[in-house]
Amino acid sequence: MSDLLPLPPSERKPTIESICRLSPVIAVVTIRELKSACWLAEALVAGGLPVVEVTLRSPEALDAIRAMSAVEGVVVGAGTIVSPGQVEAVLDAGATFGVSPGSTPAILDACDANGLPFMPGVATSTEVLAMQSRGHRILKFFPAESAGGRTMVKAFHAPFPDIRFCPTGGLTESNTPHYLELPNVICTGGSWVAPEPLVRARDRDGIVRLARMARELGNGPQ
């Protein structure tokens, strides 16, 4: 198991790779009440998970990114980017990185033009080749469990030895360690570290406990 690497203080514009190396699990959260944003970010950081992906699935998402970005120690990104127009919006809100369930040339161009560190989603070898041709070597594998799971990620390693994946979609406390064992998995994404019932209940201790559990999983070989 390799050590988790801290983000260099001198790196003003972190890369997707350096962000992914901060934690074995990226916390994927959907904020439905803005008042939950700051305490949730603080709880995740307290538990050892500094990287948070806020999905653009609620009206509160951009304001949540803005609020969370002010929390010390957190690295906030925007997930579910599905259009070029969202790129400038998430940057204006303070997002450090972006994630998509898939990708299009227009989205990739917008991220390049605006300097947004970006992790495009893939589910097939053709999509991996397309992203590789654009210079991306850190990819989101989504929806992981539905698209072949650990077996598919493992199969990608031989033809794509330089590509690293962040499996997301259907990951749980029990199956996440099996993904992290793979040499081509840099980290995982999961909503299980901040389940909505605990968020609604403002159960800070519960979130901290799950975050610590996720942190202890460590990263697999990089």
Active-site residues, by number, are 53, 140
Report the distance separating Cα 85 and Cα 93, nearest Å. 13
115 dihedral zone (left: phi>0; alpha: psi -120 to 50; beta): left
Q: How far is the CA of 159 from the CAs of 121, 126, 136, 163, 197, in angstroms?
A: 18, 11, 15, 9, 41
- At residue 79, what is the residue type? G
- At residue 164, what is the residue type? R
Residue of 115, 18, 106 lying closest to 98 (CA atoms) = 115
- At residue 43, what is the residue type? A
Report the distance separating Cα 168 and Cα 121, nearest Å. 9
Token pair 């070029």 is at which residue?
84
Contact 72, 51 (CB under 8 A): no
Report the distance separating Cα 48 and Cα 158, nearest Å. 32
